[in-house]
Amino acid sequence: MSVMDESGMFNVQQTIGSVLCCKCGVPMAPNAANMRVNCLRSEVDITEGLQKSIQIFYCPECTCYLQPPKTWIKCQWESKELLTFCIKRLKNLNKVKLKNAEFVWTEPHSKRIKVKLTVQAEVLNGAVLEQSYPVEYTVRDNLCESCSRFQANPDQWVASIQLRQHVSHRRTFFYLEQLILRHDAASRAIRIQQVDQGIDFFFGNKSHANSFVEFLRKVVPIEYRQDQQLVSHDVKSSLYNYKYTYSVKICPVCREDLVCLPSKVASGLGNLGPLVVCTKVSDNITLLDPRTLRCAFLDARQYWRSGFRSALTSRQLVKYFVFDVEPPVGEATVGGQKYALSYVQIARESDIGKMFYVQTHLGHILKPGDQALGYDIYGANVNDNEMEKYRLSVKNGLPEAILIKKCYEEQRERKQKKSRNWKLKSLPMEMDDSRGRVDPEKTDKEYEEFLRDLEENPELRFNISLYRDKDYQASETASMTDGEGAPSVPIEELLADLDLSFEEEDDDDEDDMAAE
């Protein structure tokens, strides 16, 4: 049959013919084998010779799976990593083409993992056949080498990391603890001990300790030294067993510290300061000049090359009353934080009659009647050689005060009746008083200050996981206006503290979904 198109040409309409299947005689579209798919599957099984069942080993202590011969891989249940691990364990899979793989649900307590695989292979006369089949993995519990060693002797470790910061507070360790929990960096530690001015981590494998040190390098400026001690030596096989110790030192400059830069460092940073405030400590140190709003960033290598220390720390902050704030004369954004340069009139809480007229970088949040915390350079006894040199070299003298942050003490006093609706998790640390006693009252006070810093600084809690407190109950006696004006954590930033358990399924878990 022919059809005439618009150009007047006749086109012959082509039709697809059909043939009879050589097995069952049913009409079908022609293919290379001239057989229907069902008939072809009855004749050829492309999964023949492929593994249908296999045994894998699982460490229940550290939730790792054995990748022969000696590698243990940490995988979560029904994760992409576990699916990749299961596929790699199959032999002769290169004879076919893998098209799809997915988990088939099994009871978690059955010690079985089922994976449905879809494969393709070329069969009779070049015809391509696709077929799906299940593979069953039998899970056998077997402790890995490090967990087995720990079960035999909990004190038997291979590598230890002695993390220290030589300052008078633990604020850095509180923040670092939350980063470790968020990234699950210390999951392979067999023991964690809290000591004076630091934390000790013990690992059953040297590679785990190396991974943890690399994590520390990415979050805080550190320098470290590695030592090793010979434990045993097999002369016949030339095998040596060592214990490794990493001495890790964190930069002593902390957030909100006042630093007087050495002249060489200041000139290298474009004549910054030299009186600067540390506004952030991550893998870099952020320094801000509060009188010009200029900033600079120092990495760990640059800092340890000079090794300067803080002239005044947050333990020496003094409360000031703000009487007058002039309009800002300049603005700047440093690391996502906004600052405004203004002149303010302030007075110390202990000496109201003495007024100071100073510059500050907090012009965007201060207003008359507020309270602020700052460093009293006018009356402080500073034991810092660099600041003394700078004091002698400046004609107009040093500023009488440098404000650091706004104070919300009055608002917090009205808020004391209200508890926080959020909480933080903590590492399972043991207390070690043999190398310096840890004062619990001082630690609790510093931890409370850390929680207040989280409420005041959104940037500080950006990399931290805050959880909703299920036990939180609003006080009936507290007024709605109690604590008004005090900073708090928005409920949108809180996560639900989910306790996933295969033994118990609570219907109320749906009400505790994470707020995004």
Q: Which two tokens stand for residue 11?
A: 């086109």
Residue with token string 């001082």: 442
Q: Omega into 274 within 30° of 0, i.e. cis?
A: yes
Q: Which two tokens stand for residue 358?
A: 């100073």
Q: Which of 172 and 44 is assigned the larger pLDDT?
A: 172
| Distance from C-alpha of 111 to C-alpha of 140, rounded to nearest angstrom | 7
| Residue 247 identity (one-letter amino acid) | S
Question: Which DSSP string corresponds to 304-326?
Answer: HHH----SB-GGG-EEEEEEEEP
Q: Which two tokens stand for residue 191?
A: 């023991």
DSSP 3-state of 43: helix
DSSP 3-state of 284: strand
Per-residue model confidence as pLDDT tens digits over 328-370: 888 888 877 889 999 999 999 888 888 999 999 999 899 999 9
* Cα angle for residues 412, 415, 421 (degrees, 5° grid): 110
| Residue 425 identity (one-letter amino acid) | K
Residue with token string 């706004």: 406
Q: Where are the domains of the chain?
A: 24-145, 155-250+418-470, 257-414
Per-residue model confidence as pLDDT tens digits over 36-51: 777 877 677 888 888 8
Cα 105 to chain centroid distance, Å, stands at: 31
* In the predicted structure, residue 8 carries a pLDDT above the cut 80: no
Q: List alpha helices for 153-187, DSSP H.
A: 171-183
| Distance from C-alpha of 474 to C-alpha of 53, rounded to nearest angstrom | 55
Mean pLDDT computed over every residue of the chain: 83
Q: Given this model, what pLDDT does residue 416 score?
A: 63
